[in-house]
């Protein structure tokens, strides 16, 4: 990537984002702001690292033994060095439908010591052989998928028996909020509450217990962006389930 292009990727866009464009598989291109955000260091530290830490806890056992890991919807690749740091795989496979994101992910992949493969693809059509990977990391990707059941079946197909799906997702109350609808583009008819995501994963064949599930409520997922808490008001005990983290297992 040229120096000029790197410089332009480092600052948020100022012009109005184009209207969403759906490709033949139904993927909706995000706004320029959304594409800038997922390539930023702020995204890596505030939106990626925290759920990875939580998912390791939800996994409930050693983080070794996952030689082939897929990052579905890898975007700018910010999760790739974090996944390598935590799980020490032999190969990381980043899949994304946007050629520009795949190009940007190359810089993040170059920092990894393991082999990194970056491919164009969709959550519902990974292009991987049956039972070929040990872990799928799906972070802030599923709410972009117009056909969630098809994507869940595709994840299940590609995982080896005993493989793990690390699922970290924004839920309908957050995606349908005014701020998110203004700044980003999503297939709104496909959005689900946390309970529906859990039902979908179970109906696909994935196994998990309550110990493998969490519903975090970070400041950036709240309507007030955490302002009330900054002014001393406690976080409400009963709050919308804006996010969902699940460590789900394919039976052996």
SS3 51: helix
pLDDT digits (tens, 9 = 90+) for 83-142: 999 999 999 999 999 999 999 999 999 999 999 999 999 999 999 999 999 999 999 999
State how far the Cα of 55 lies from the Cα of 246, in Å rounded to an integer. Answer: 7
pTM: 0.84
Domains of the chain, with CATH numbers? 31-57+67-222 (3.40.50.150)
N-term to C-term CA, the chain: 43
**Does the structure show a pLDDT above 50 at 191?**
yes
More confident residue, 211 or 30: 211
Query: Over 70-134, what HEC string results?
Result: EEECCCCCCHHHHHHHHHCCCEEEEEECCHHHHHHHHHHHHCCCCEEEEEECECCECCCCCCCEE
Cβ 96 vs Cβ 108: under 8 Å:
no
């Amino acid at each position: 990537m040229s120096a000029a292009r790197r410089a332009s990727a480092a600052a948020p866009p100022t012009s109005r984002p184009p209207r969403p464009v759906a490709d033949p598989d139904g993927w909706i291109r995000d706004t320029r702001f959304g594409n800038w955000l997922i390539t930023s260091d702020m995204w890596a530290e505030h939106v990626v690292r925290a759920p990875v830490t939580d998912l390791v806890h939800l996994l409930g056992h050693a983080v070794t033994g996952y030689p082939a890991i897929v990052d579905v919807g890898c975007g700018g690749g910010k999760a790739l060095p974090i996944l390598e740091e935590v799980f020490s795989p032999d190969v990381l496979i980043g899949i994304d439908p946007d050629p520009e994101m795949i190009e940007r992910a190359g810089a993040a992949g170059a920092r990894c010591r393991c082999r990194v493969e970056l491919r164009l693809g969709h959550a519902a059509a990974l292009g991987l052989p049956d039972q070929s990977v040990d872990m799928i990391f799906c972070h802030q990707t599923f709410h972009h998928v117009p056909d969630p059941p098809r994507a869940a079946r595709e994840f299940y197909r590609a995982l080896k028996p005993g493989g793990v799906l690390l699922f970290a997702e924004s839920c309908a109350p957050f995606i349908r909020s005014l701020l998110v609808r203004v700044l980003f583009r999503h297939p709104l008819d496909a959005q689900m509450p946390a309970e529906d995501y859990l039902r979908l994963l179970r109906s696909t064949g994935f196994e998990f217990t309550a110990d493998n599930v969490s519903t975090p409520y970070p400041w950036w997922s709240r309507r007030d962006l955490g302002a009330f808490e900054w002014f001393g008001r406690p976080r409400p005990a009963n709050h919308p389930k804006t996010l969902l983290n699940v460590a789900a297992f394919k039976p052996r």
